[in-house]
Chains A and B, each alone.
Chain A
Amino acid sequence: MAIVVNVDVMLARRKMRLNELAERVGITPQNLSVLKTGKARAIRFSTLEKLCEVLECQPGDLFAFESAAVSGKDAAA
């Protein structure tokens, strides 16, 4: 998928564990893992709002767009 999820980067910066984040955001650790591994199809604004509130960050810190051409060049390099 072209959207890269950087939740684990923010988790490391805030020194927080996955289970703790899931509990504070109000979703299951399984769902958070689905999001973290990039398998989620969509995210609700309410969930995004809580993630940003708990991790004290902006939505852009959690997600990045990587076009297919760029990811192909990186892989070749």
Chain B
Amino acid sequence: MDVTTNQVERVMRASVWGRRIATFVIALMVAGLIWAVLVVVAAPQLGGRVKIGEYVFTAAALQSWAVKSWVLLFIALVAALGLPFAYLLRSIFANLARGEIFCHPNVRHIRSLGLLIIAGGALQILAPIATTAYFMVVGYGNISQREITQDAVYSFNGIEPFAYGALMILLSWIMAVGLGVREDAENLRHEAELVI
């Protein structure tokens, strides 16, 4: 058995576990999402606190519908990025487990992962600014005053998400070229088979 076949088999075996772990993570994320929504909507009863960046929303602060709707919107945005990310990862592992390593769906999934990471980076930058602007309009109510600082308004978490996202997109391009080369080689082999 040659080295390539061994490597492919190892990837397939590991990807089965990767798919199972990703499925478990998706289930955890859905459960966490439901719990977070419950905490926000029924906060007084559950006595929960929600922290978004530098802002801490206590049960008292979450009484206000302005705060509740903002927190729910933020949770929805994070879910809109996080759940597709986990699902795409699971899809990639599922393809790898079937032995489909270099294939068009994987190229698309990896590119989409890169775009989601970049979107997450943009959200990290915009969230504190948007949160400050929103609460300047609706009023801070019971939000912990000590948490609201100038640093909180202008917090910047670095360019790592953009770098990682760009790297994923670059990887997808390289994979797409490799896939094209393999398809060309398959076509040439097919042509060669028709030479009698």
Asked if A17 is an interface residue, CB under 8 A from chain B, the answer is: no
- Complex CA gap A39/B6 in Å reads 36
Q: Footprint of B on A, CB under 8 Å?
A: 27, 31-32, 34-35, 39-44, 47
What residues of chain B have their CB less than 8 Å away from a CB belonging to chain A? 191, 194-196
> Which residues of chain A are within 8 angstroms of B194 by Cβ–Cβ distance?
34, 39-42
Nearest-neighbor residue (CB-CB) of A43 within chain B: B196
Besides A32-B196, A43-B196, A44-B195, 18 new A-B residue pairs in contact (Cβ under 8 A), listed by A number: A27-B196, A31-B196, A34-B194, A34-B196, A35-B196, A39-B194, A40-B194, A40-B195, A40-B196, A41-B191, A41-B194, A41-B195, A42-B194, A42-B195, A42-B196, A43-B195, A44-B196, A47-B196
Q: How far is the CB of B117 from chain A (nearest CB, A)?
A: 46
Rounded to whole angstroms, the CA-CA distance of A40 and B191 in the bound complex is: 9
Could you list 21 A-B pairs, sorted by A, with CB under 8 Å? Answer: A27-B196, A31-B196, A32-B196, A34-B194, A34-B196, A35-B196, A39-B194, A40-B194, A40-B195, A40-B196, A41-B191, A41-B194, A41-B195, A42-B194, A42-B195, A42-B196, A43-B195, A43-B196, A44-B195, A44-B196, A47-B196
Nearest residue (CB) in B for A36 is: B196
Q: Chain B contacts of A42 at CB under 8 A? A: 194-196
CA gap between A32 and B195 in the complex, in Å = 11
- List 9 A-B pairs, minimum CB-CB distance, nearest first: A41-B194, A42-B195, A35-B196, A40-B196, A43-B196, A31-B196, A40-B194, A47-B196, A41-B191
Bound complex: CA of A47 vs CA of B196, how far in Å? 7
From B190, which residue of chain A is reached at the shortest CB distance? A41
What is the bound-complex CA distance between A42 and B194, given in angstroms?
7
Docked CA distance A31–B196 (Å): 6
A15 to B162, CA, bound (A): 74
The CA-CA distance from A11 to B195 in the complex, in Å, is: 21
**For the complex, what is the distance from the CA of A27 to the CA of B196, rounded to whole Å?**
8
